[in-house]
Every structure is written in C-alpha cells, then in structure tokens.
Structure 1
Amino acid sequence: MATAKFKETSPYVKPKPSPPEEDYLYNKYLEDIALKTDSRNDPILKLALFGVGRAGTIHLMSIISNARVELLYIVDDVESNWQNMRKYWHLKNVTFLNGEQSDKVFKDPNVDAIVVASPTYTHEDIVIKALKAKKAVFCEKPIAENRSDTVKCYEMAEKIGKPLFCAFNRRFDPSYSEVRDRVRRGEVGHVHMIKTVSRDSPLPTIEYLKLSGGIFHDCLVHDIDMITWVLGEYPDKISALVDANIPEIKAIGDFDTVAVTLHFPSGTIGMIDLSRNSTYGYDQRLEVFGPRGVVQAENEQPNSVRRQYDLQGSVTAPIWYSFASRFMNGYRREFDHFVDVVHGKAKSLVRSKEILAVSKIATACEESARTGKIMDLNWAKGELPDVQ
C-alpha cells in the first residue's frame, strides 16, 4: 500500500487533545461533568419577574434553566394567562401578582433581585422602587424613557450599592463577542469600516410598536452598542436616512427602514442597515474591515442539513426566524453574568456610561433622520467610559 508508510502510533499513546476555546458548550460540559465550580457556596438568588411577554418569556426560560436562582414572584397584568403559565412552566411555588399588587414584591426581604421585562413605559417606576427596596435589578432596555431619568436611576443604584444591569444581550452572543475579541487583538489592524445588518423578523405588531419607544431606541440602540463596544470608541458625527414603507408604521410616526453612517475620531467609518421587516428570517450580521483583513459574524442556521433534488439546486435550512432563537445563547450567558455580578464575582460588562452614550447617539440619529442634518456629537469630559 502506497500510504502504509504514513501510519501513525495509536492515538491512545499520544497526548490527549484539548477542545478548542470556541466550543464553549463542550467546555461548559467538562465543567459540569467535573462538578467544577466556584459557586457551590453561593446562596440561591431569589427573583421576581415583571412582565412575561416578548422578552419576559425568554428571561423566564433563562431563570427556570438556571440552578443558581429561584423564582418567587411573577408580576403580569394578563391574569387570564396565570393558570396556564403556572401549569406549563410548573410554577406551583411562584406567587402571581398584577401591577397594582406589586408592592408585595418590594416589601419582601426574601427577594434579592428583580428582572424587568414589562412594557417600556413601566421600567423607570419599577427600577426606582426596586432600588429603594435594596434589590438588584436586571432591566430590559431602556431603563427610562429619557436620558436624565436614566441618569437618576444609575445614581440611585450607585448610592444604594446595588447593581443596575441594562440588558444588551448581543454582547454575550458567542459570534459577536468573538469578533470583538479578534478586533481588540489587532487582527484587522486599525478598523477602517465596521458594518451591522439588523433586519427584524417577524414584523412586530402595531400594538407593540406603539409602546416600543420607536425604532431608534428600541432597535437601533443594539447596533450602536455593538459598534461602539467592538471599537471602544464613540462617534463625533452621524447621519441617518429613514423611511416608512409600511403605511401602518408611517401612521404612528415611526419608521421601518433606517440607514445610519457614523464617523469616529480615529478615522473609522460605521454603517448600520436596519429594517423592521425581513420576510426571509432574522438577518443579523457584523463585519469589521481593516488593512490586515476582515472579521465577520454571519447569519446562523438551525441545522447544517443540505439537500438537493432533481435540478433544483442545493438547499439549506433558513436562517433563524427571530431574536428569541438567534440570540438564545446570548440571553442565557447574559443572565448568568448578572447572577455573578449580584454575587460580587464579576464586574458588569454593561456599564452605565456606555448605556448613556448609546442613548445619546440614538437620539442624535433620530434628530438627523427627522431634520435631514448631519449631527455633530460633542462629548463632555468624563462623559464617555474608559476603554476596556
């Protein structure tokens, strides 16, 4: 045999290979099978969840699947769902309350932390009451409906000494965080261009959009945060072009199609391609280009099956349908990080100055879109976070 000379010694006598760092699921499995943890002596974190809608259901799934926490309360005004929710999720020891009964949560000394996933306009009130009651807070964005109120919430959290964590789950997505790590290691050199594509699927209901806070603060903030988080830099100039191609969205004074260009002091250019309606799935991409090369996070698919029949060509699975599936890993890793933050084992990877800076940029984008002007962004001393 011509290849016999290439025979090697038995793999059993060779050093055992290590799994690649990228296989985070297998590495977590190795920790679990070895019972390797530094959290075995941590007390169980006791929680209350406000809101079990679009985002709240995702957080409920994270809570139930996490052995480090216990859910004590659910606060939700759709009382007709309570019985089915209790049965479906096996929540026999969970107390259900409506919003008017929620003071019971704040007064209960057994509650360590509160997860806020209720409608946007309720966030600030819940956050303030939770902090006054000395509870840690995990809050869906935005924390409040304007910058000054958001600042007050963070100032209160700092004064009381409890974490106020704003949920930017894409930072915890394995693909997006891998792009950031490679960019920060200098693999593409100085970034010349960074782009995001975020096209929503399915089209949100008009009822949701009316209460969402608008496309800039509901959707665009994720892309702004991703770009500034990857770069560790904030823009000095932005412009936005928008339109409402869907009549119902135009009727509520919002937009469904947004293009944003950002200029950074170092010379980097950023571009955001945003849509409310992608009929082929949840299109989420990130690309960073520089003189040494390009790093990309492409769309992901539920499976890797490829099929081909007759002369129809090769067909694969569609991309993930929506945010709940595409960013499921990110949501769970984000929540586990929050538990570490509450226990003092980690510093929050989402800092207050970052949230405030993203909100300021989103507001400038909206002003640019509505006035047609290129907006200059001026940053006061100490306004921006230190680079991490």
Structure 2
Amino acid sequence: MKKVKLVLIGYGRIGKIHFQNIISDPSVELAAVIESERQSVLFTRPFDYPVYTSLESYLYQNSSIPEDQLCGVIISTPTPTHHDLTKLALNHRLAVFCEKPLSTLESEIKHLFSISQTHHLPLFCAFHRRFDPSFLELKRSILNNYIGRIHYLHSVSRDHPFPPLFFLSSSGGIFQDCCVHDIDMHCWLLNEYPSRVYVSGKAWHPDLARSNDFDSVVINLEYPSGVTSVIHVERYASYGYDQRVEVFGEDGMLCVENPHQNSLVKYHKESIKRSPLHPSFEQRYSAAYKAEMSCFINMMRNASNEDMFDDEYKQERNCYSCQDPIHCAITKDEIVRNCVIAEACAASVRLKQAVTIHYELGSEFYKNIGSEYLLATSDATTG
C-alpha cells in the first residue's frame, strides 16, 4: 500500500483540528505545515514538522513526488484563498481536501473539478455534517421510510462563541460561510433541491451591520415535491453550541437533538439538571471531522478508479471511499447547487422578496441580480 503524505495549509481554528487528526493516523505522514510568518512561530518542539510560509515555497523545495507515495494538501485557510490554492495544488498533481466553499463562483468550481478529473486527482470539499453519526442515522431512517412521506424539515444552527471579527470579514458572508452547511443538509436529507426561497435577516452586531452582513437569518425553502423546510441560523448563542434538526412526516417525526458534554442527568425534588451543551464545533463534530478526513484518505487510495470521478457513479453506488450505502462525500453538482442556493438566499434578503431558483442561470446570476428583474419575474408569474 502506498504511503499517504499530507501538507496542512492553515493552522487556524479548523486547521488545528485537522492537524490533530492527521498526526493521530499512523497510516498518514504529515509532510509539512504551511502558515504565515506571523503564525509559523507556533510550531516548535515537540511537533517537529517542516514549516513553510507559502504553498509555492513548499512546491519549490519538493518538486517531485516519489512513485510509492500519494500526496495531497489540506486547505484550511480563509475563504478568499481557497480557489487559488486548490488550483495551484491540482496543477502540481496533488490531491485536495478543501474547506467549503471552493469558490463562491460556479464557473470557478466547475473549472477546479475539470482540472481534478483531467489529472485523476481527488477534490474533496468538506461538508462535515454529512459525516456526523447522528445525521447519518437520520439520513438512513429517511431512506428506510421510517416516517413515510416527509412534509416539513426544520434546522437550528446557533454558533458559540461569537466568531472573531477578522474571520467574519473574510468568510464570504453568512450564507456562503455558515448557512450553506444547513442548505446542504436539507438537500441531502430530502434528496431534492428547492425551487423557491425567501429569507429574512438582521445584523444585531454593529460591525456586521456596517459590512452589510447578518448574524441572524431565517431561510424558508420550497421544494418541487411540496415539502417546505426552514433554516434558522444565529452567529451566537449564549448557552452553547446549538445544532438541531427535526423532520416531520405523515407517520411520525425524526429529531437530532443537541449532545451534551456528558450524559448524566441529575433528578432532585427541586430541580432536574444536566451538563451544558458543547462549547463549540470542535467538540460537537469531533467524530465527523475524523470521518471526513478518513474518507479523503480512502479517496486518495482509490484514485486509480476512473469511475470515481463520474458524478452519476457517485450517486448510484455505495460511497466510493468507505462503501457506506449512504453517500457522504459531496459531488461537484451538489457543490454547485449549494452555491446557487446560497446566492439566491443572499439575493432574497437583499431585495426583501422571494426568489425563484433557476439553477441553469448559475450563482453569478443571483450574485449580481437586480430588483427590476426579480419584480418583473414575479409579476409575470402571478399574472
């Protein structure tokens, strides 16, 4: 079996999680860490790994890949850097694991996948919630028709602690950075995409208001089947990291509740007490982060299978990396549609009206759309 070598790019909040998961896997070698000059001082013993300040400098000093090795990069840098780093890595024949979004432009996403397919390299966009054990069981219950025909889906995503402002300023906005996780979850669970969206939002934090972003949004999604789903996202919940999903159907209801820091419940004649919620995403999704990294490593080992780069193959077969009947890793088409939906959400809240989603128009259309066209479309539809 060929050895897997990974280069970690970025040692921020999510980079630290990937760092620990990589070094704890005996089948993987951490070849290097890439971080800015300011952050590279963090890497001192006992973590004896080479540190570079750019991917270009690493590639200059490591220009050839031995035939007995599989090499890839883990991109956990700010959103605006994702596209260029992914493109550079793929063009140097490196498999890529990249935090979402690959880009907020559909044309760039498609181009990156074109490069990966040309070179037969895995391109993995990290939507970690698909790998969470509770959400996997929820998906499995839906597939097994446990509650019959679905009528309604509702999710709550409330962050804790409040993200640093320097992160929010380069995150791409609440819809592409935060809400896209819930958008992906809803489409994945329902196995269909919304045709219409209406969004309301509020910026309670003054700095977000000044930057035309939001920290509180409610997204209403309508689907061709008649199902309605609602997403409530908050950048901050004072009581802990709050992530819940409810699916209501004709024969019952499925719920994923919040896990607590431990399962002890204290019953007393005066009160009932239990431990707090997890403080942040690192604890809540620790198992999911390990599972998605394992999936990517398996993708690297299976990269010789040309079928794995075909979207129809991915949808119709067991997961090509872990062989689970539930396909966890996201496909190119799913990433593109998530991007379109997120931009349609941004257009809806910006224009204060419902938006009909035409996927063939692409995310760029909704990013730049004007109120005159939407109003004309609405009039034509109602007329």
User: Same fold by TM (over 0.5)?
Assistant: yes
Are the equivalent residues in 1 in contact too, given 2:158–2:233 (CA < 8 A)? yes
In the comparison of the two structures, how many residue pairs are matched?
336
Are the equivalent residues in 2 in contact too, given 1:137–1:163 (CA < 8 A)? yes
* Partner residue of 2:341 out of 361, 366, 373: 361
* Equivalent in the alignment of 1:86: 44
**Using a 3 Å threshold, how does the CA distance of structure 1 residues 371 and 57 change in structure 2: closer, same or farther?**
same
**Using a 3 Å threshold, how does the CA distance of structure 1 residues 182 and 209 change in structure 2: closer, same or farther?**
same
Give the partner amino acid of 1:347: Y
Is the counterpart of residue 151 in structure 1 residue 110 in structure 2?
yes
**Using a 3 Å threshold, how does the CA distance of structure 1 residues 306 and 85 change in structure 2: closer, same or farther?**
farther
1:1-388 equivalences under 5 Å are 42-82=1-41, 84-87=42-45, 90-92=46-48, 94-99=49-54, 101-104=57-60, 107-110=63-66, 112-307=71-266, 311=270, 313-344=271-302, 347=320, 349-380=329-360
SS at match of 1:86: coil
Q: Which is further off, 298-307 or 187-196?
A: 298-307
TM-score (norm 2): 0.84
Give the partner amino acid of 1:372: K
SS at match of 2:263: coil
Are the equivalent residues in 1 in contact too, given 2:208–2:214 (CA < 8 A)? yes
1:78, 1:57 → 2: CA distance?
Answer: 17
SS at match of 2:218: strand
SS at match of 1:179: helix
1:361, 1:281 → 2: CA distance?
Answer: 28
Are the equivalent residues in 1 in contact too, given 2:40–2:51 (CA < 8 A)? no
1:27-59 deviation digits (Å, cap 9, x = unpaired) = xxxxxxxxxxxxxxx322001010000111111
Identity %: 34
1:281, 1:244 → 2: CA distance?
Answer: 20
1:289-323 deviation digits (Å, cap 9, x = unpaired) = 10011111000011122336784x12110111111
SS at match of 2:254: strand
Give ranges in structure 1 of 5+ residues lacking alignment. Answer: 1-41, 384-388
1:86, 1:267 → 2: CA distance?
Answer: 56
Are the equivalent residues in 1 in contact too, given 2:337–2:359 (CA < 8 A)? no
* Equivalent in the alignment of 2:324: none
Give the partner amino acid of 1:101: S
2:138, 2:217 → 1: CA distance?
Answer: 24
TM-score (norm 1): 0.83
Q: Which is further off, 328-337 or 63-72?
A: 63-72
Are the equivalent residues in 2 in contact too, given 1:58–1:324 (CA < 8 A)? yes
2:43, 2:18 → 1: CA distance?
Answer: 14
Are the equivalent residues in 2 in contact too, given 1:48–1:105 (CA < 8 A)? no
Are the equivalent residues in 2 in contact too, given 1:73–1:105 (CA < 8 A)? no
Q: How far 1:377 moved relative to its partner?
A: 1.1
Are the equivalent residues in 1 in contact too, given 2:40–2:53 (CA < 8 A)? no
Are the equivalent residues in 2 in contact too, given 1:188–1:293 (CA < 8 A)? yes
Q: How far 1:224 moved relative to its partner?
A: 0.3
1:333, 1:81 → 2: CA distance?
Answer: 27
Q: How far 1:91 moved relative to its partner?
A: 2.7
Are the equivalent residues in 1 in contact too, given 2:6–2:32 (CA < 8 A)? yes
Q: How far 1:134 moved relative to its partner?
A: 0.9
2:233, 2:272 → 1: CA distance?
Answer: 29
SS at match of 1:129: helix
